Structures are given as structure tokens and as C-alpha cells.
A and B are shown apart, each in its own frame.
Chain A
Amino acid sequence: MATFLLPLLVLCPLAASLIIFISAGRMGARGAGTVACAGIGVAAVLSIIVSVILLSGPTGGGLQVTLWPWVHVAGFSADIAFMLDRISMIMILVVTIVGLLIHVYAAGYMRDDPGIARFFGCMTLFVAAMLVLVLSSDLLCLFIGWEGVGLCSYLLIGFWYDNPANTAAARKAFYVTRVGDVALLCGLLLLATATGSPRIGAVLAAVTNGQVSASGISMAAFFILMGALAKSAQVPFQAWLPDAMAGPTPTSALIHAATMVTAGVYLIARLHDLFVMAAPVMALTAVLGTLTLLMGACAALVQSDLKRILAWSTISQVGYMFLALGCGVWQAALFHLMTHAFFKALLFLAAGAVIMRARHEQDIFRLGGLRHAMPGLTVAFVIGASALAGLPLVTAGFYSKEMILSGVWHVRFGLTRDWTVTGHPLWAMALLGAFLTALYIFRCVFIVFFGKAGTVAAGRTSRLMTIPLGCLCVLSLCGGVIEMPDTLPSLHLFSALLDPATPLSHADEPVWLVLAGAVVPLAGLALAWMLWGRPSSVMRGARTAGGPDGRHDVLSRWQDIPDRAGAAAGGLVRAASARVFAVRAGFLDMLARWSGRIGRWGARMLERLHNGRMRWYAAWIAGGLCMALAVAVLS
């Protein structure tokens, strides 16, 4: 039965999407929202059912479905095939359940938009593509979902196409991820050439058996890492995600929480056995993750746009996941992916509701004192912020971040045979990142919800929007207690669920490690209170953004670099194209002119031959005859 349910799980959102697209807007706002929520809802129910089936089966097994052959040629065969194991089980649960909550919210949020049919068509297609991505047992099938996710993000970021800035942001997102996709494709080609099959199981088996050369493994891991970095907006591909805020808020929530940016994390966790064989690439992953988490946190600290703060915080949090992946604790990365999905969706949806009621004001310095006008949303946002900051014991973010930090503390990178590097510096930087996280998110909380009143809030938040917010609040608070450090009541449900064979356990973990992880967010919160929270705080009046603040100027200039590089490259390419066109036109003109000239010259020569004088003709005839005779005799 499960083999029948698995394709159905993908088919539900896909069918919803097709129905919405084919009805072409005749369905009305309510109809489109209902169909979309029904599609995702059925998928969520199905994913719970297949998870139960999987967990009740033997441990270590998975469900395999081969639907149809994609390409079978000599030396290469690929199928459209799905597989459910414990990694993909976590992913489908997150994608469908968080996706469902976001869709319900969107049905309220987008109610009055004229393009709502197109919106829900793309959203459900987005979820369907993500499900294909996480369920495929074949790298090629995975690539279909991988690019499908990119396409849907393009369509949704540029949803309000009337503003050229939105479509430019959408194109930027697609181009940047496309560069990564090409790298991923190259990695895929390499693996397929070396092993003859893109089936994930076969590839991993071939890699662990030593069928692929060491350099081949490193190259493949590097290419795949590039693809994952681009999809997850990590350094050096981080530029597209902050601009992706141009789309509607539910889209941002979907991109940041359930789909798209988590795809890179999933891919590396899925191919973990391959990355273990390529130690330098693992170290590179960890270093880039650390860089990203610090950079994202610093950038979030100086933003004045509410949604941009959240965007940079996503980059920073996904950096934690890459750090965990680089350190080999992929269980922790997936755990953080799950809790991050909860609290980031909560933050985005709450922010969307706040912005909507504040008449589309996104500048945090123009908002202010909203806790009186919207107490419910304030509670929701503060819960999300606490989970993001990882306030100890009461939030989900604390447990997942703690798991990553302890994993990083214990890691040793074996770069070469006799040169190992400890992970302690990375741990310190990750801890600094945790401090900054608490600082920037509570800066945002204190400025937006406390202090002097800014804009006037209007309207009410509809029931459709508050119910998902409530569910996400519960998940953000309690979603983390399934996995606890050893120092606390040792509970390892999540890692036992993922990998029953090798439970993660750090019995020798010092107590102060957990304490440090608990104290640092509180310190960040305290500093944020001192700087922005107190009624008479120093930073309260100072507009950080756009002000004559040296630190911010440096940062903003630095953030600009990718944009400027892009603009410069674009200018260069345009100039080069113009030059090539000129050369091409000149060459063709020259060709035409010379062929004309040669033709005319030839004509003039021939004209000379028949000049009307009989003597010349006779001479030509005689000469020609002699020549012919000479040739005949001599040859």
C-alpha cells in the first residue's frame, strides 16, 4: 500500500496546481485557496500515514517505488523512482505540515489579490517539486525537483511583476541558483560516468567500495557542494536571498522554512557517505558555513527592513546547518532544519501579518510600540524570536543549536593523513554567532513592538491567519524537546529516529559547554535590552540604516559588492556583444564588398576578351588550339 501512497503524495499538490492553472482564474479566490489547501492537506495526511508505515516496519529499511524508466541506454540507466527512508521522512513531514500551515495562512493573506490563482498554482507546484526532490531515489529525478523548486521560486518572487525591481530580483535568484545547478549537473555527470547509474544507493555503494578514484570523489563532492551552496544562499552565493523578499510574504515563508533553501542541506545530508570520503570538501563546508553564519548575523544587525532582517537570519541559520554538515553531524543539521522551519515560518508569517496591518510599512524604525495594538502578534513574534535566538530550555532552537555546537566541539578534521585540525575555533565562532543572533533579533523585537508608537495599526488579523500562527507557536516552543543534551535529561529521540544503528552520544561532554550555549543568547538579549529596549537607551533614536554611521556604511558597501560585480560584468558583456556585432557586421560587409569587387573585376577582364576585333578572336582560337594540342601530345 505504501508503494501506492508515495506517488500519490507527490501527485496531490501537483494535481491541485494543474487544476488551478487550467481553471485559469475562473475559480475565484476562495476556490483556489480551498483547492490548494486541500491538495497540501491530503499530502500532509498521506505523509503522516507513510511515516507511520515506515516506522512500524523493520529498522533500517525503506520504501522503494520505481515508477517508470527515464532513460536506459548502453552504460547508463536512470528511472523515475521514489524512496522513503528516515531522512526523507523528516523532510516530507516538515514540507507538508509547515507547507499546509503556510497555505492556510496564505488563503487569508492573499484573499484580495487579483492574481491569486497564479499564486496558488505556483505555491502548490513549489511544494510538489520539493516533494519530488526529497523523495527521489535517483539523482536525476532529484534534479527535476531541484530545478522545479528554482523555477517556482522565480515565478513567486516575481509574482507582482508590475514592478521591474521584483522581476529583477526573481531573475537574480534564478541566475545565481542556476550557476549552482550547472555545478551540480557536472557533479552528477561525473558520478554517473564513474558508476553508470545515478541511483543514490548505487552511487554511495560504488563510492564506499572504492570504485571511484579519490580525486573523482573530491571533485564530485566539490561540484555538489557548489550546487548546495547556491540553492541554500551560502557564501559566496548569498546575494539572491535578501532580494527574494520581493515576493509575497507566504512565499518568503515557504522559501525560507519548508522548501528551497533547505534543499542544499538535505542533499548533503543525503549524500553524507560521499562527503565523508572527501575530507577537504567537508572542511571547506564547515568553514564556509561558519563564514556565512557570522556574515548573515552581522548583516542582519544593520538592516532596517523587517523582512530583510529575517532573510539574513535565514542565511545565518542555514550557515549553522552547513557547519554541522561539514563537521559530519548531519543529524544535528536535520534537527536544526526542522526547528528552523517551525520558527522561521512563524517569524515570517507574524511579520507578514504585522506589515499587512501596519499598511505595508516594512521599515522597523517607522513601526514601533505595536505591542499595544496587536498583542497576539507580539506574542507570536517574540516566541519566534526566542526560538531563533535559542533561549535556553523553553524553545526548540536551543536544543537544535546545542546539538550543533556540541558536535562542532568534538570534531577533528583529518585534512591529510597526519594533519588534523580541531574544531574549537569554529565552535567559538558559532558561539559568537549565537550571541549576535540574539542581539539582532531582539533589536528588531524591541524596536518594532516596544517603545514609542509609530504607524497606526488598522484592521484585524483574520482567523485563517491566526490559526497557523498558533500551531507554529506551539511547534517552535515544544518541537525541540525530542532531543536533549546529555547534561540535561538525556533524550535522543530524534537521532534515534534518524539513525537507530549509531546513536550520537557525547557522554564525556563537559557541563560548561551546555552552559555556554545557554548563557550566550541570554547575554545577547540583555545587550539588546540595554541598547534598544530601555526607554532611554542610546541607540533608540539613532537610525542605523541610512544614517551617518560608519559601521553601517562599510557593511552596506561590502554587501553591494556582488551587485556591483554583477552590474560591471553585465556592462562588460553588453559592450562585448556590441563589439562582436560590429565585427560581425563589418566582416559581412567586407565579404560582400570584396565579392562584388572581384565579380566586377572578372567581368571587366572577360569584357576585354570579346572586344569585337576579328584578329583577336582568331588569335585566341589559334592559341587555344595550340595549347590543346600541346597538352594532348605531351601528356
Chain B
Amino acid sequence: MIALPALVLLPVLGGGVAWVAGRIRPVPTPASRDAAWWVALVTLGMETLLLALITFGHQPHAGPWLAHFSMPWIPAMGIAIRLDMDGLSLSLIWLSLVLCFPCVFLSTRQVTVNAGAFHFLFLATLAGIIGTFLATDLFLFFFFWELMLVPMFVLIAAWGHEDRQRAAMTFFMFTQGSGLIMLVSILGLVMAHYRATGVLTFDYVTLSRTPLSPALSMLIMVGFFVAFAVKLPVVPVHVWLPAAHTQAPTAASVLLAGILLKTGGYGMIRFDVMLFPDAASRFAPVAMGMGVVGILYGAWMSCAQDDVKRLIAYSSVSHMGFVLTGIFCGSRMGMQGAIMQMLAHGLSTAALFVIAGAIQDRLHTRDMRRIGGLWAAMPRLSSAGVFFAVAALGMPGLGNFTGEFLVLLATWHVSPALATVAAAGLVPAAMYALRMVNRIFLAAPRVGQSPGPDFPPRQMAVLACVMALVAVLGLYPQPFMAFSLPLPVAAMTGGKDGAP
């Protein structure tokens, strides 16, 4: 019962403690920095434990959901704190937590300026993301959606690299502006429901049964779609992404690429395709076309980059094109492919950002023209880099291929021509990935470059776990696919009566 709110609140509390721990002494010392880091680590450990309890323990009164919580918040307007967990949100929350560990182990300890506040913001972002994955009250969802932006904005603006202000501002403008469009859509949906039934509510399950005219449902659906498209990102509105990913500190880049983008995909599944199935199927050709354009454009732009973080960022645009295409295929197979792609992309891209951040920490540049062959000096870091680059190019047997294959297969059912064009995106994928490998890792060392120390074995062990997960997702995806499916809307209504 209480598990779900605890899941959301724990990171915030832990972050608060971390902030205090970092501030105990007036002059920050390495010890106090480490205190904040330890608090963050313990918080993540407890959070993982809690999630494991929810996953493997039995939840009473959950109905069709895996876990359920509700209590009134603003009863006059029908707003409640309603948190529900199904397979999709569970797998995405697991992804978030799994990614936080490499982040904390490999990167946040290097933060020297105001480490307590950094860890607080980091954990607050995590709380916002987890809340977004759980909320089934539209108002609460919007609340969490905005909540995860603000700490991320501060993280980029305060701890980012050379052009951080501009990047943070672009990020904020795009996501905030599109969030407002979503708010209007939410209000429109609520008002339409009120007009039709006389009940004022923000409850997801109730609103899903709102009778809507085709035009109105299309309008509201597109309103939601814009917000999620900015987050995913879909090509015309992806402008914020390369700048934000490049300028953010490593930990924030990992959160952005690994999890924050997935809230867009999650939203599209839960609040577009499942809430407005008719409008979504009418909108599907446009969305799939945008997805395929994103695949090709992202891969192309990625080939043309010299900045390693920017290259990875554009490759995300390309991978998220597969997610968009898969979600709007209209078949279960496509949606499963999109979910697999989200999970695998989360792991592989986050690891690539960790590695890029480590390179920047050691060589103080992200420019691939100035980074030379690192294999001789840092074989561990380089082998991890080669592995994840190969995963990113869609090597069969690794996670990304599973998602891409299922999406392509589902697309082929709809339109073979479109699937062929999308599959052609795999060729530039090989180009950007191997160009990166041959410029950074397997290349002649630069003269005058002084590479730092390699990853110590402990950090390498963390990365090895991520590698193993990517390989498992590629070779044996069936169990993940079986449990990561979203709960169908039709099944939700049955459980509402059982809930208090």
C-alpha cells in the first residue's frame, strides 16, 4: 500500500539528507563531499531494495495492477494522489535504478563544487521520473512531469560545460512550452468528460471512457503528442537535445539519455495510444513517417559530428525514431519492440555517456579530432567503449537489435516500403559507431596527449554488469518482453472496484 509513495519520496528524502551532509562543515572538504556521495549511494540501495520488495512481494488490493495506491488530494476538483504500477512502469523504474548505479559509481564522485546540492538535484530528478512512471491521475502526472524538469535544468545550468546557460535555457523552453500544451490538453479532456457525464475527475481510468468526437479526440491526442514528442525527441522538435546532452555534466547526460527520453516513450504508450486508440491509429501514418525520418536524420547528423557527446546524442535521436515507429505500428509486436528498444537504448547509451564523461575528465576535451587512440593507454575503458558502440550500431545478439528487429517486423506488416527505408538507417548507424571507435579507441595515439588512469577494476565490474544486461536483452529477451507490457485499459477498470 504505502510502497509506491515511499518509492517516490525516498529519493527526495535521501537527497535532502545528502544536501545537509554536504553542508555540515562551512568549508567543503573531501570528507563532506564523500558524505553526500555515500548518502546518495545508500539511498539508491534502499530504493532498489524497496523496488525488489514490490517486484517479488505480493501486493494486496492491487487489483489488476502490480501495486496500487490512492488517496484524495484536492477532492473539490477530483484530483487524487493515485499511483499504479504495471509491467511497463516496473521495467522502466528498474532501468532508472540500474542506470543510477554506474552514474553514481563512475561519475558523481568527481563533482567537486557543492556536491551535496548536486546529489540532491540528481535524486530529485530521479524522484520526478519515478513519479511520472507511476502516476495515473492526470494532474499528478503533469505535476511530476514538471517536477523532473526543474532539477535537471539546474543541473545543466550550474554544473554543465562551456555553453551550459544557453543549453539549459533551450532545454527548459522546449520542454516547458510543450508541457503547457499538454496541460491544455489535460484540461480539455477533463472538461469534455465533465460536459458529458457531469463528473469532474482527473482519474486516468475514468477519463479513458470519455466519449469524444473524432475531431476533438484528435486535437487532444496531438496536444499530448507534442509534449511527448519533444521529450522523446521526434525530429522537428529535437533541437534542444544535442545541446543539452553535450553540455550537461556526465551524470545528468546519463539521466537525460537513459531515462528522461523514456518518459516521452512511456507517455506516448500510456497517454496517446492507449487513451485515444482511434485517433492514434488515424495519426499513425504521420507518426511513423516522422519516426523513420528521425532514424535517418539522426544517424546522418551523428555521422557528421566531431564532438563525441554530440555524436552519441544524435544517435539517440536515431534510436528514438525506432521507438516512435514501433509505438504507432498499431500492433502488440511493435509496442514490445519499442519497449525493448527503450530498455536497451537506455543501457547502451547511458554507458556510452559514462565513458565519454570519463574521457572528458581525463583529457579535458570532447573533440574527437584531438583525442587519439586510447586502447594502448586505457584498454578497459576502450574495450567497454567498443562494446557499447557495437551495441549502438545494432549488432544482433545485443539488446538494441532485438528492439529494432521487432519494430521493423511490425512496420513490415504495415508497409514494407517504410520498413525498408527504416532498415536502411542501420547503414549510417554502422558509420557513426565505427567512426567513433576508429577515432577514439582503436586509433593511433596522438602526440602530446597525456591520458589519465584507466578504469579501476571496481568501476569496470559495474560496467561489466551493464554489458551482461545488454547481452541478455539481446540473446534472451523473452522474459523481459513478457513482463514489460503495459496493462490494457480494458483490464484496469476491473481493478478499480477492488481498490479502496
Contact = CB atoms under 8 A, between A and B. Distances in A.
B396 interface: yes
B430 A175 contact: yes
Contacts of A577: 300-301, 303-304
A415 B386 CA distance: 47
- Interface hub of B383, B406, B408, B409 (most chain A Cβ within 10 A): B409
Given A75-B333, A573-B300, 4 more contacts: A76-B333, A148-B396, A185-B426, A580-B301
A193 B413 contact: yes
A577 B428 CA distance: 13
A189 interface: yes
Interface in B416-467: 416, 419-420, 423-424, 426-427, 430-431, 434-435, 438, 442-444
B477 A70 contact: yes
B423 A80 contact: no
Interface stretch (B40-48, B95-103, B360-368, B372-380): B372-380
B322 to A, nearest CB: 13
Interface string A7-28: 0000000000000010011000
A170 B435 CA distance: 11
A547 B380 CA distance: 48
A570 B103 CA distance: 37
Contacts of A75: 333
Interface string A181-207: 110011001101100000000000000
26 contacts: A70-B476, A71-B477, A71-B478, A74-B332, A80-B476, A143-B396, A147-B395, A147-B397, A151-B390, A161-B438, A167-B443, A170-B434, A171-B438, A174-B430, A175-B431, A178-B427, A178-B430, A182-B427, A185-B423, A186-B423, A189-B419, A189-B423, A193-B412, A193-B416, A574-B304, A577-B300
Given A71-B477, A162-B444, A21 B304 contact: no
Contacts of A174: 430, 434
B301 A72 contact: no
A68 B476 contact: yes
A154 interface: yes
B478 A70 contact: yes
A168 B444 CA distance: 12
A189 B379 contact: no
Contact of B412 (A143, A189, A584): A189
Interface string A592-621: 000000000000000000000000000000
Contacts of B424: 182
B434 A186 contact: no
A192 B409 contact: yes
Contact of B332 (A73, A144, A189): A73
B239 interface: yes
A69 B301 contact: no
B239 A588 contact: yes
Contacts of A168: 438
Given A73-B332, A73-B333, A73-B336, A158 B380 contact: no
A76 B410 CA distance: 10
B438 A178 contact: no
Nearest to A578: B304
Interface size grouping (class) on chain B: 35 or more
Interface size grouping (class) on chain A: 35 or more
A558 interface: no
B475 interface: yes
Contacts of B89: none
B265 to A, nearest CB: 18
Given A154-B434, A193-B412, A161 B443 contact: yes
Contacts of A58: none
A171 B435 contact: yes
- Interface hub of B395, B397, B426, B435 (most chain A Cβ within 10 A): B397
B430 to A, nearest CB: 5
Contacts of A186: 419-420, 423
A158 B442 contact: yes
Contacts of B481: 71, 73
A192 B476 CA distance: 19
A171 B434 contact: yes
B253 interface: no
Nearest to B404: A185
A181 to B, nearest CB: 8
A25 B426 contact: no
A164 interface: yes
Given A71-B481, A151-B395, A178-B426, A164 B300 contact: no
B325 interface: no
A287 interface: no
B304 A581 contact: yes
A179 interface: yes
A72 B427 contact: no
B481 to A, nearest CB: 7
Contacts of B406: 71, 73
A190 B412 contact: yes
Q: Which 5 A-B pairs have the closest CB atoms?
A: A577-B304, A161-B442, A144-B396, A167-B438, A189-B412
B385 to A, nearest CB: 13
B185 interface: no
Nearest to B464: A22
Contacts of A178: 426-427, 430
Interface in A130-182: 140, 143-144, 146-148, 151, 154, 158, 161-164, 167-168, 170-171, 174-175, 178-179, 181-182
Contacts of B396: 140, 143-144, 146-148
